[in-house]
Amino acid sequence: AYAFDAYGTLFDVHSAIARHRPALGPEAEAFSALWRAKQLEYSWTRTLMGRYADFWTLTQEALDFALARYPAIPRDLRQPLLEAYAQLSAFADVAPTLKRLAAAERRLCIFTNGTKAMAKSAAVSAGIVPAFETIVSVDEIRKFKTDPAAYALLHQALGLALGEVALVSSNRWDIAGAAAFGMPASHN
C-alpha cells in the first residue's frame, strides 16, 4: 500500500495564495512561505508540549500570524484565503501517478496531519477522491507526524504490518519520521 501525505505532496499549499495573488501584492510568495512554516511549526510544538489543536485551527492561527507580520496585506483576505485553503489544487503529477498505481492494483490512502474533512475537501476539489481507499488523519490520536503514534495509526487503519505501507511525501521531516518508525518512504 502507498500512503500519500496530503499537504505539500498531493496538494499545493501555495495554491491558496495563487488564487489571490493580485490582491496580496509583491509579498505574496513570502507571505505564503511564512503561513506554511508557522503551520508546521505549530504542529510540531503542540505535539511536543502535548497540547493538541486540530490542523484547521493551526492553519487559521498560522494565517493570523502571517497577516500580523505583513500588515500591507489586507485583513479582509483572511476568510477568502481560508476558503481557498479548503480547496487546494493538486500538483500536476498527482492524477497520472495515482492512475498508474491504481492500474497496478495498489492500495492507496491519504495520510494527513489535517482533519479528514480538510483532506476530503481538497481531494474533492482536486477530483482525486476515487483513487483513495481511505483518509487516515492524525486527528484521531491528537498527535501530529513525526510522532511514532501517527505512523502506527496508519498501519492500524489499513490493517497492514510494518513494511507493508510505504509513505510518499514531499516533506523531508515526514520521511524522517516514517523511516525512524521503520517504514519504507520516498521523497517525491
The set of catalytic residues is 5
Residue 119: which of 85, 150, 158 has the closest Cα?
Answer: 85
Contact in structure between 106 and 2 (CB atoms under 8 Å): yes
Q: For the stretch 30-67, what's the b/e string if a residue is b when 16 or more beta carbons lie within 10 angstroms of its beta carbon? A: ebbebbbebbbebbeebbeeeebebbbebbbebbebbb
Residue that the C-alpha cell 504542529 belongs to = 43
Contact in structure between 64 and 50 (CB atoms under 8 Å): no
Bridge partners of 167? 3, 185
SS3 state at 87: coil
Contact in structure between 129 and 120 (CB atoms under 8 Å): yes
Query: Which grid cell is 158?
Result: 489499513
DSSP label at residue 53: -
